Amino acid sequence: MSTITAQTHAVSDHSVLVWLAGLLLIGLISWSIHYFIIVPMQRKRHILESIPYCPSLLLPQLPAEHDKIMRVDSQRLIHLSYRVNLYQLTCSCLRFRRIRRFYPANDIRRLCRHLRRELQNSGCLQNLDELTRGVISFRLRDGCYVRESLTNSEMIVGFHPRSSIVRVYTYRKSPDDPLGGPYTGAVDKFTYNHRQEIWVYGEPPPNADEILTVVETLMTACRARYPNPEKLPHIKETLQMPIPETEAAMAARARRESILAARRSTTPLQQ
C-alpha cells in the first residue's frame, strides 16, 4: 500500500512540474513575442507617424570613400563589435535596428553611440559646424532638433512636443565677451524644465531671456500642429521634483513674461 501511495505522489509531483514548465514556456514565448515583435512594430509606427511633425537637422553627405563597413567594438560587452557604415549612417546595434534606422537619410537622429564614436575617430566631425558637433557630443535623446538664430548668437534646441524637458545647445560666455554678445565660449548643453520654468543642472546660458522667448514660440507652434497626441509615443517626464525658485530665477521669469506680453501685443503668435 505504501508503495502505491509513493508512486501516486511521484506521478502527482511530475504532473505539477510538467504544468509549471508549460506555464514557464508559455510565459517565455509571450514575452519574446511582445519584446521582439510587438514592441519594435509599435516603435516603428510611432516614429513614422511623428516624423512629419518633428523637425530635425540633416547632416551633409560624406564622401563616397566612407561607403564601407567598419567594425566598432562595444564598450559594454567584451568580444562584441558592430558593423558601421558612415556614408549610409547605418549600424548593426539593436537600438539602431529598432529605432534610429526609421529616420530619413542623413538625419542627425540616426546617430547611435557607435556611429557617433566612429565619426569622431575618423575625423568626419570636423566637417560639421561647431554647434552640430556639440549636439552630437552630448548624445541624441530628443525627437525634434531646430536651429535658431539669436540677436548675437545661435543655438540648437532639442525637445519633444509632449515633453517638458528642453535642451539648448549654445555658446558659453568667455571672460572677454561683451555682456550682450556675441559669445565665443565653448558649446555647452543647458537643460530647461518648461513645466517648472527653471534651468536645471547649473546656471542658465547667456541671453537666457531671449532664448526662452524663442523656445516658447517654437514649442507652442510645434504643439499646435501636432495631431492626435494620444496616438503618439508617450514621453516619460523627468526632473519632476520641485526645485526652489531663486530670486534671480523669479526676476528672469518676470522679464520673460514682459517680453512675451510685448510680442503678443504687436505680432500674433503663429500656430
pLDDT tens-digit readout, 111-166: 999 999 999 999 999 889 999 999 999 989 899 999 999 998 999 999 988 888 99
- Rounded to an integer, the average pLDDT of 177-195 is 91
Question: Minimum mean pLDDT among 70-74, 97-101, 230-234, 251-255: which range?
Answer: 230-234
Nearest Cα to Cα of residue 211 among 176, 260, 271, 142? 260
Instruction: Report the C-alpha gap between 94 and 82 in whole angstroms.
Output: 10
Q: Kindly state the cell numbers that stand for 30.
A: 509571450
- Rounded to an integer, the average pLDDT of 46-57 is 83
Q: Kindly state the cell numbers that stand for 20.
A: 509549471
Q: Kindly state the cell numbers that stand for 86.
A: 558612415
**Above 70 in pLDDT, residue 256?**
no
Q: Backbone phi, then psi, for 85, in 5-degree steps?
A: -125, 110
More confident residue, 271 or 161: 161
What pLDDT is recorded for position 20?
Answer: 82
What pLDDT is recorded for position 270?
Answer: 38
Question: Minimum mean pLDDT among 12-21, 116-125, 217-226: which range?
Answer: 12-21
Q: CB of 143 within 8 A of CB of 226?
A: no
**Above 60 in pLDDT, residue 98?**
yes
Instruction: Band the pLDDT of 241: cuts 50, 70, 90.
Output: very low
Nearest Cα to Cα of residue 59 among 108, 101, 111, 100? 108
What pLDDT is recorded for position 269?
Answer: 37
Instruction: Report the C-alpha gap between 20 and 270 in whole angstroms.
Output: 61
Instruction: Report the C-alpha gap between 91 and 115 in whole angstroms.
Output: 7
